[in-house]
Structure 1
Amino acid sequence: MHEFLQHFLNGIISGSVLALPARGLTLMFSVLGFANFAFAAHATLGAVAGYLVNVTLGWPVPACLLVAVLAAGAAGIVSDAVALRGLRRMRRTDAAMMVAIASIALNMALESAVRFVYGNDHRSFDLPLMRDVTIAGFQVSQQQAINLGYAVAMLLLLFGFFGFTRAGKAMRAVADNPDLARLKGISGEKVALAVTFVGMGLAGAGGMLLALETSVDPLVGSRILLMVFAASVVGGLTSIPGAVAGALLIGVAQELSLLVISPTYSSAVGFIAIAFTLTLRPQGLFGRKG
């Protein structure tokens, strides 16, 4: 029982970190109408940007996290303008599929660019050595606890942003009913720009938090690609809050799977979750039909 609860706790922590890029992906899908798979490369860009200012300038982790968000968000706006915006504006029934495929190609191009500039080395943030802590008999690394704090703080900020700011309400309005939002004078292009920045910024934050626990390399984002997509599908690709619930479920499921299977095969949890969700409830747990 103790081992089960330990894995459950680890799953809650990893799921909280996973919730950041998952919420970003769901936000972009809800507003833009397609799954932007280039979020994986932007997660890598965020991790690399945070690492560089940490190692070269000695900035603390909170400042590096802000840099990761800004760098990934800015890169998202530029890459969307260069590679995806023209396809998004096409009046074709298969436009969403075309943009999604183009985003996969964009992801590969950006990862190759990072590999060319940064190299293939695995590097670590310049952080003090931390010991594991034991709370009520459960062992948690200090970095895990800190990452949980960062993730929860950012999720609370997002809750406030979407609930109480004009920009956040505009994004929700476009996600819920784009035609009604247009009639109310909300600019779809401005919202799309803001959504791309926020969504990719969240990917950058998630990539950096993952890199704090593991390492910084050109495939940081690819390591979470499947699980982030699974979290979004399970929660509902049209439900922004559902992404958080989906991420927690996927995080816990992946950790609990380690009780019965090798860590090598734990990524299969994502495939299984997607298959079950699409079979039993295609709109996800919190998504709307249609």
Structure 2
Amino acid sequence: MHPTHPEDPKKHHYIPVCYSKNFTDKGGYIHLVDTWNQNHYFPQKPEKALAINYLYRQPDHAEQRFDTALEKGFSNYVESAWTPAFERLKRKEPVSAYDWVNIVKFICSLHTRTPIVLDAILFLLRESVIGQYEETIGLASDDPNLKIFCDMYRERNSNKSVGPIHFSNLVRSGIIDLNIDPHRRLSSMPLLVNNIDIFQENFAFGGPFLIHNITDLPFISSDNPVCYFNRNRTIKESVPYSSKQAKNFIFIFPISSNIAIVNNNFIKTKERHVTIDD
């Protein structure tokens, strides 16, 4: 992999081709439904689908492309282990503990390598800085160094009753631009892969098994292709990426159009491969 330059734009597949290619039809196309565009339906080759240009593009750092190094880490260590593990599952061969670790990391990476996660990390980092300022300094209106900014805030809101001004008021109104080093959100991604509690704490329960679908209705996937829920919870009580108090916990992950990994802690089966035909 070579450093990215403007004349050679990097296209980052947030759903890796090594995963999406297992959902192709006989012609090698995956069939996509864009739910944000009136459920627009269209076929596309995996190499051209589920990608975004310059997702990791950042300024040069220490004469090395930090974004390229990060992507190389995902490609070399996470994606490269997926295909061999998938082929063993497909052939119903024994899968080692090492393979399961790689499978779990791959699943976690699908959650972290998306634009919305990068934006969420940046938002949380900004909120952390705001919180630290307000905890240590107090009100912005009491800080003489911020007097000019507070005056600007009052002028902008002259038609309103303005009380004590918080640092967060200045940031969210755009008067103060709080810049976060973009490399920090990139370096957070591998940390997320290793700390999503749903997998680290509960994936081992019961032992996962595989469903082999030989019906005429294939499994489908999405750009967030993992389902897990507690059947005793309402949808409002469910917290994404959290498996706390998972007494009746179900994990479903389609790995191809006819194979899915399933795990739970209430259906006990000694079979590691189950076939459904109707």
Q: Which has the higher helix share?
A: 1
TM-score of the pair, normalised by structure 1: 0.25
TM-score of the pair, normalised by structure 2: 0.25
Q: Which has the higher strand share?
A: 2
- The one of the two structures with greater contact order (alpha-carbon pairs below 8 A, sep at least 6) is 1
